[in-house]
Amino acid sequence: MRVLVTGGAGYIGSHTLIELMAQGHAVCVLDNYKNATPAVLQRVRALSNGTMTDYAGDVRDGAMLDKVMTTFKPDAVVHFAGLKAVGESAEKPLDYYDVNVGGTLAVLQAMDRAGCRRIIFSSSATVYGEPVYLPYDEDHPTRPTSVYGQTKLAAEHILTGWTKANPDAAAVILRYFNPVGAHHSARIGEDPRDTPNNLMPFIAQVAIGKRDALTIFGDDYDTPDGTGLRDYIHVVDLARAHVAALDYAARTNGAGIFNIGTGQSYSVRDMVSAFSRACGRDIAVKVASRRAGDIAAMQADASRARHAMGWTATHTLEDMTASTWAWQSANPNGYQTETDTSKITP
């Protein structure tokens, strides 16, 4: 298929480009580099033999989308582009609605103009909110507690409405749990621009000596060791879920919602211990109070994705920590000092 990948230079998008090209899809990236650098695409090209074009532009720019649609003529869109920081979303709610909801609207409107009828959307397990039961299945009530989560849920509703109005259309909504890890080449990975909000990149920066200690946000939760439990998923498994979703979208119509997680959960202390084993160093920690808005435990029931799309996660916790450490230690400053464009053996 010909696949337009919005936000393709980002963390999850870049890994997905590699998996899409490995399966013979032709890809085109649209990214405004708000949270990425073009150097990412140089590295993706060096790791792949597939066909990739790219445009620098904003998903809210209808004229730019029309240009990409008429030039590239996608069969499907994978829509990653968005803002993703939960804390920031409370400070800048209009920006989050503008990009995450307005951007999704603009993409769908451009797809309508071009007659493109298949979309895969990056949603988040955060749409569920406080668990009524665990593991969450896709029928769990959706009561997001952050602006970020609300924008993802609003976009889901728009996508569902679009498929109802267009019986020949398909929207696959993937609710990601906690993506971590990096490509096995250690050439692409997560490269937060500021202080990492998320656990894994923060631990990695402590391990490399950029930060003194990890602050554990609360060890008084009702969990086995008192720290928060999450369903961490290797980013390559997540990338492959998009390939499976495209295949699924090619043979179905309507909206489908799928949890993308492993079905297992680990505590903050489990993650620190696993990372310490991977890097062979102690990770200093200090315990602070709970982070506002955090919940004790999240875990996916990912059986719907397995049954309907034939997708299941295969990477282990060790794969997650080892690949993060390999990426972090080979690229202590992320993509910042990129000069090398040579071909890397995948």
Is residue 81 a contact residue for ligand NAD (CB under 6 A)?
Answer: yes
Distance CA 290, CA 62 (A): 42
Q: How far is the CB of 219 from ligand UDP (least distance, A)?
A: 9
Is residue 31 a contact residue for ligand NAD (CB under 6 A)?
Answer: yes
Sheet with 76-79, strands from edge to edge, namely 52-56, 26-31, 2-6, 76-79, 118-124, 170-176, 254-260
Q: How far is the CB of 173 from ligand NAD (least distance, A)?
A: 11
- How does strand 232-234 pair with strand 178-180? parallel
Q: How far is the CB of 127 from ligand NAD (least distance, A)?
A: 10
Any catalytic annotation for residue 148?
yes
Is residue 60 a contact residue for ligand NAD (CB under 6 A)?
Answer: yes
Q: How far is the CB of 150 from ligand NAD (least distance, A)?
A: 12
- Which H or E element spans position 230? strand 229-230
Please give the radius of gyration of the chain, using alpha carbons only, rounded to the nearest integer: 19
Reduced to 3 states (helix: H, G, I; strand: E, B; else coil), residue 52 is strand
∠ Cα 90 91 97 (to 5°): 65
Contact region with ligand NAD (CB under 6 A), list: 28-36, 208-216, 222-230, 295-303: 28-36
Q: How far is the CB of 260 from ligand NAD (least distance, A)?
A: 9
Q: For 89, phi and psi rounded to 5 degrees?
A: -65, -25
Is residue 247 a contact residue for ligand UDP (CB under 6 A)?
Answer: no
∠ Cα 213 215 219 (to 5°): 135
User: Which single residue brings its beta carbon nearest to ligand NAD?
Assistant: 10
Q: Is 214 within 8 Å of 283 (Cβ atoms)?
A: yes
Catalytic residue among 148, 232, 248, 266: 148
Amino acid at 149: G
The residue from 47, 216, 313, 317 that contacts ligand UDP (CB under 6 A) is: 216
- For ligand NAD, give the closer residue by CB, 157 or 224: 157
- For ligand UDP, give the closer residue by CB, 74 or 228: 228
Among ligand NAD, ligand UDP, none, the one that 99 touches (CB under a kind-dependent 5 to 8 A) is ligand NAD
Is residue 230 a contact residue for ligand UDP (CB under 6 A)?
Answer: yes
Is residue 178 a contact residue for ligand UDP (CB under 6 A)?
Answer: yes
Is residue 6 a contact residue for ligand UDP (CB under 6 A)?
Answer: no
The residue from 104, 124, 142, 262 that contacts ligand NAD (CB under 6 A) is: 124
Residues 189-208 that bind ligand UDP (CB under 6 A): 197-199, 202
Is residue 268 a contact residue for ligand UDP (CB under 6 A)?
Answer: yes
Query: What end-to-end distance do the CA atoms of the chain give, in Å?
Result: 22
Among ligand NAD, ligand UDP, none, the one that 32 touches (CB under a kind-dependent 5 to 8 A) is ligand NAD
Residues 89-108 that bind ligand NAD (CB under 6 A): 99, 103
Is residue 36 a contact residue for ligand NAD (CB under 6 A)?
Answer: yes
Residue 73 Ramachandran class (φ > 0 left, ψ -120 to 50 alpha, else beta): left
Q: Which long-range contacts (CB under 8 A, 24 or more apart) does 278-281 make?
A: 278/318, 278/321, 278/322, 278/324, 278/325, 279/207, 279/321, 279/325, 279/329, 281/207
In the 8-state DSSP scheme, what is residue 60?
T
Q: At what angle do helices 268-279 and 317-330 cross, to 10 degrees?
A: 60
Distance CA 146, CA 344 (A): 41
The residue from 42, 217, 269, 276 that contacts ligand UDP (CB under 6 A) is: 217
Give the catalytic positions in this structure: 148
Could you list the residues that contact ligand NAD (CB under 6 A)?
A: 6-7, 9-13, 31-36, 58-60, 80-82, 84, 99, 103, 122, 124, 176, 179
Could you list the residues that contact ligand UDP (CB under 6 A)?
A: 178, 197-199, 202, 214-217, 228, 230, 268, 291, 294
